[in-house]
Amino acid sequence: MKIASWNVNSVGARLPRVLDWFSEARPDVCVLQEIKCVDEKFPAEAFEDLGYDVHVHGQKTYNGVALLSRHPVEDVRRGLPEYEDEHSRYIEALIVPEDAAPLRVGGLYLPNGNPAPGPKYDYKLAWMEALEAHAKRLLATEEAFALGGDYNVIPNESGVYDPSRWLGDALFRIESRQAYRRILNLGLTDALPQLMGEPYYTFWDYQRGAWDKNNGLRIDHWLLSPQAADRLEAGGVDAGVRDPNTGSPEAKPSDHVPVWVEIA
* pLDDT classification of 243: cutoffs 50, 70, 90: very high
Calculate the average pLDDT of the chain.
97
57 is in an annotated binding site: no
Q: Is 162 annotated as a binding residue?
A: no
The DSSP output letter for 27 is -
pLDDT at 99: 87
| pLDDT of amino acid 188 | 98
Q: What is the pLDDT of residue 38?
A: 98
SS (H, E, C) 137-200: HHHHCCCCEEEEEECCCCCCHHHECCHHHCCCCCCCCHHHHHHHHHHHCCCCEEHHHHHHCCCC
Cβ proximity of 240 and 207 under 8 Å: no
Return d(Cα 110, Cα 107) in angstroms, integer. 10
Q: Averaged over 33-57, what is the pLDDT?
A: 98
User: For 18-44, what is each residue's pLDDT tens digit?
Assistant: 999 999 999 999 999 999 999 999 999
Is 256 within any annotated ligand binding site?
yes
pLDDT of 100 reads 87
Q: Which of 53, 150, 151, 221 is catalytic?
A: 150
What is the set of domains in the chain, with CATH numbers?
Answer: 2-263 (3.60.10.10)
- Identify whether 109 is a catalytic site residue: yes
Q: Annotated catalytic, 151? A: no
**Would you say residue 248 has pLDDT above 90?**
no
Residue 185 among known ligand-binding residues? no
Active site residue 49: no
Predicted local distance difference test score (pLDDT) of residue 24: 97
Position 146 scores a pLDDT of 98
Q: In the predicted model, what is the mean pLDDT of residues 76-80?
A: 98
Of the residues 52, 90, 109, 180, only one is catalytic, namely: 109
Mean pLDDT of 57-67: 98
Alpha helix segments (H runs only) across the chain: 11-25, 44-48, 119-140, 174-184, 191-196, 210-213, 226-229
7 labeled binding residue: yes
